[in-house]
């Protein structure tokens, strides 16, 4: 578990992930969560790099989630989402900053990357506040950013 001043961030169990998948109405997210679950089951020794991580307030209120999209050649890609009712309070910045610092301390990790929709200014600000810099390349989801290590 990663703890910050206001948040507890932890990998969801397989059962929690199955429950989230069953409840998810957005087919794109359902597919992504299913892929994460499969990755965590196939790679149990690297589960934290595939599982969905829950972001809770200290009182247990769930405010969002994040994930690492595997660990390949020392590079972890991070994705994150805060529920609409909890946006604008700095939770994304706090969670991403803590998760990136945790990731960069793990053996074999040299950098963390992220992509964000070009129209999502709030997400871009989160990345910038957390020390990410744009790489100048465009990925599947939009401009690519990097934190730590060299490009």
Domain chopping of the chain, boundaries: 2-147
The CA distance from 8 to 93, in Å, is 14
Cβ-based neighbours of 141, under 8 Å, separated by 6 or more: 115, 116, 117
Which pLDDT score, from 0 to 100, does residue 29 have? 87
State the fold for domain 2-147.
Aminopeptidase (3.40.630)
Which stretches of the chain drop beneath a pLDDT of 70? Answer: 149-151
Residue pair 136/151 in contact by the 8 Å Cβ criterion: no
Which strand (E) or helix (H) includes residue 58? none
Read off the pLDDT of residues 61-102 as tens digits, 9 standing for 90 and up. 999 999 998 888 999 999 999 999 999 999 999 999 999 999
């Amino acid at each position: 578990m990663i703890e910050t001043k206001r948040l507890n961030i932890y990998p969801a169990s397989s059962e929690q992930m199955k429950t989230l998948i069953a409840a998810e109405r957005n087919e794109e997210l359902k597919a992504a969560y299913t892929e994460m679950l499969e990755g965590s089951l196939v790679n149990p020794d690297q589960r934290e790099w595939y599982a969905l991580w829950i972001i809770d307030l200290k009182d247990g209120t769930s405010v969002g989630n994040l994930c690492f999209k595997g660990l390949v050649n020392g590079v972890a890609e991070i994705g994150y989402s805060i529920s609409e009712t909890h946006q604008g309070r700095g939770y994304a910045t706090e969670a991403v900053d803590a998760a990136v610092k945790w990731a960069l301390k793990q053996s074999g990790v040299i950098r963390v990357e992220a992509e964000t929709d070009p129209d999502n200014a709030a997400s871009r600000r989160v990345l910038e506040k957390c020390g990410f810099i744009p790489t100048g390349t465009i990925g599947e989801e939009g401009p690519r950013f990097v934190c730590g290590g060299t490009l």
